[in-house]
């Protein structure tokens, strides 16, 4: 594997006034620019605009984020084409946040690359997207650089239970294969990690998500799925609105290993570069070892908060989702990451990971 300069896109599709108007209707209460000292340019270059196909629930996130930035002397501009980017990303006092789904094409043009060179900070880059868009690629690259992920399995084994998933995408159909079962090499196959935890007489498949801003933890929260559903693939909608269960799992999976989670987020932020990420984690119930199963761009998780709103007043572990502080803390962490990049630089955002090369690109040491 090696990072290379990939071919550029020819252009960004023009948007009509109806599309633009619809985008801004989803941004109620954002802070208006006021010629403040610094600028953040937020791009919505794909057809999904400032939603980026569920990468950010913009109506929950950007009002608080932009208001906090205004307090800190930063204007925020939302742009949908290269003209808007060129107008605002003019010097090192500008940062760029790209909103796109890493699994889909991103229109990366010569003008976008030039704007990134002018800016002082680029967040959610196509470089990071090239690492995390494919689970197999991510496992090879990140495991080689110190991130603990489940071991990949390419052929049937008489000893190993295999968890089989799609190589690209989240929420896809998964299967658990018994030892000796045929393994489909076109899928992402790894050793099965048993995450079942018993609580009050019932067993649940479990995981937790680290919501990170660059190298720092914004929040971490648990998910669970009753084992009667017979699927170890756990998502927000599977999580029971049981405040006792949520608090118990938070204590067991997250609070008990906060230092390790912070160290892990730092290592991932160094490897991927600046961005808002959701790192999905599991813990083996036999060894208590923590693994990352996948990562993707993610700014907030409004569906999870809505699923569990009925127990919001009884789940202090998730208070940040309901008290209005989530986007403000995200803004504070973003500014800290911007300062780090000013002092130490960031990986070249224009590069992409080329998987046809077998060698591994070593990065700064990560952690398990």
Q: What residue has token string 């794909």?
A: 46
Q: Cα dist. 290→157, 196, 257, 331, 365 in Å?
A: 23, 14, 9, 28, 18
| Dihedral sign of CA atoms 2, 123, 102, 260 in order | positive
* pLDDT (tens digit per residue) in 156-202: 888 899 999 999 977 778 999 999 999 999 999 999 999 999 999 99
Would you state the torsion angle of the CA atoms of residues 68, 69, 72, 74, taken in this order, to the nearest 10 degrees?
A: -160
User: Which tokens in the block code for residue 350?
Assistant: 């224009």
363 confidence band (pLDDT: 50, 70, 90): low
Residue 324 — left, alpha, or beta (φ > 0 → left; ψ -120 to 50 → alpha)? Answer: left
5 confidence band (pLDDT: 50, 70, 90): confident
356 confidence band (pLDDT: 50, 70, 90): low
C-alpha radius of gyration, the chain, whole number:
21
**pLDDT higher than 50, residue 288:** yes
Q: How many CB atoms lie within 10 A of CB 42?
A: 27
Q: Rounded distance, CA 76 to CA 112, Å?
A: 18
Listed in sequence order, the residues at least 6 apart from 282 whose beta carbon sits closer than 8 Å to its beta carbon are 193, 195, 206, 207, 290, 291, 293
Q: What is the mean pLDDT of residues 5-16?
A: 91
DSSP string, 10-62: S------HHHHHHHHHT-TTPPPP---SEEEEEE--STTTTTTTTT--HHHHH
Can you list the alpha helix ranges (DSSP code H) found in 72-186? Answer: 82-88, 110-118, 126-132, 135-144
- Domains in the chain (CATH in brackets) are 2-125 (no CATH), 132-151+192-354 (3.30.470.20), 152-191 (no CATH)
- The mean pLDDT value of the chain amounts to 95
Angle at 39 between CA 123 and CA 30, to 5 degrees: 90
Q: Residue 212 forms beta bridges with which residues?
A: 217, 277
pLDDT at 253 (0 to 100): 99
**pLDDT higher than 60, residue 338:** yes
pLDDT at 6 (0 to 100): 82
**pLDDT higher than 60, residue 364:** no
Q: Longest Cα pair distance anywhere in the chain, in angstroms?
A: 66
368 confidence band (pLDDT: 50, 70, 90): very low
The pTM of this model reads 0.95
366 confidence band (pLDDT: 50, 70, 90): very low
pLDDT at 100 (0 to 100): 98
**pLDDT higher than 60, residue 333:** yes
For residue 210, give the nearest of 295, 146, 140 by alpha carbon.
295
What are the backbone dihedrals phi and psi of residue 43, each rounded to the nearest 5 degrees, phi first? -100, 140
Note whether 18 and 53 are within 8 A (CB): no
Q: Rounded distance, CA 272 to CA 216, Å?
A: 13
Strands 216-226 and 202-213, bridge-based pairing: antiparallel
């Amino acid at each position: 594997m090696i990072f290379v300069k990939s071919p550029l896109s020819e252009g960004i599709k023009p948007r009509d006034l109806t599309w633009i108007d619809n985008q801004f209707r989803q941004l109620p209460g954002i802070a208006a620019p006021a010629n403040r000292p610094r600028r953040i340019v937020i791009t919505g270059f794909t057809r999904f605009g400032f939603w980026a196909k569920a990468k950010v629930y913009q109506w929950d996130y950007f009002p608080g984020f932009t208001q906090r930035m205004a307090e800190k002397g930063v204007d925020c501009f939302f742009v949908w084409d290269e003209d808007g980017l060129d107008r605002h990303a003019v010097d090192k006092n500008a940062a760029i946040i790209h909103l796109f789904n890493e699994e889909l094409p991103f229109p990366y043009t010569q003008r976008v690359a030039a704007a990134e060179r002018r800016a002082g900070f680029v967040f959610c880059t196509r470089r990071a997207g090239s690492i995390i868009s494919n689970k197999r690629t991510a496992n090879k690259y990140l495991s080689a650089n110190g991130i603990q992920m489940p071991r990949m399995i390419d052929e049937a084994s008489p000893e190993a239970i295999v968890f089989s998933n799609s190589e690209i995408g989240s929420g896809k159909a998964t299967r658990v294969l018994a030892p000796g079962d045929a393994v489909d090499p076109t899928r992402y196959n790894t050793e099965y990690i048993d995450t079942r935890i018993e609580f009050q007489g019932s067993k649940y498949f479990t995981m937790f998500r680290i919501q990170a801003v660059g190298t720092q933890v914004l929040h971490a929260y648990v998910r669970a799925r009753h084992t009667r559903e017979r699927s170890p693939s756990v998502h927000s909608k599977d999580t029971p609105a049981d405040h006792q269960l949520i608090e118990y799992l938070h204590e067991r999976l997250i609070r008990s290993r906060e230092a390790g989670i912070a160290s892990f987020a730092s290592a991932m932020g160094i490897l991927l570069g600046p961005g808002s990420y959701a790192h999905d984690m599991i813990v083996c119930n036999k060894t208590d070892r923590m693994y990352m199963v996948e990562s993707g761009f993610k700014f907030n998780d409004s569906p999870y908060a809505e699923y569990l709103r009925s127990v919001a007043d009884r789940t202090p572990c998730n208070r940040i989702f309901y008290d209005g502080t989530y986007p403000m803390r995200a803004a504070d962490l973003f500014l800290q990451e911007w300062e780090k990049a000013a002092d130490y630089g960031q990986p070249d955002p224009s590069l992409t990971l080329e998987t046809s090369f077998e060698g591994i690109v070593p990065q700064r040491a990560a952690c398990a």
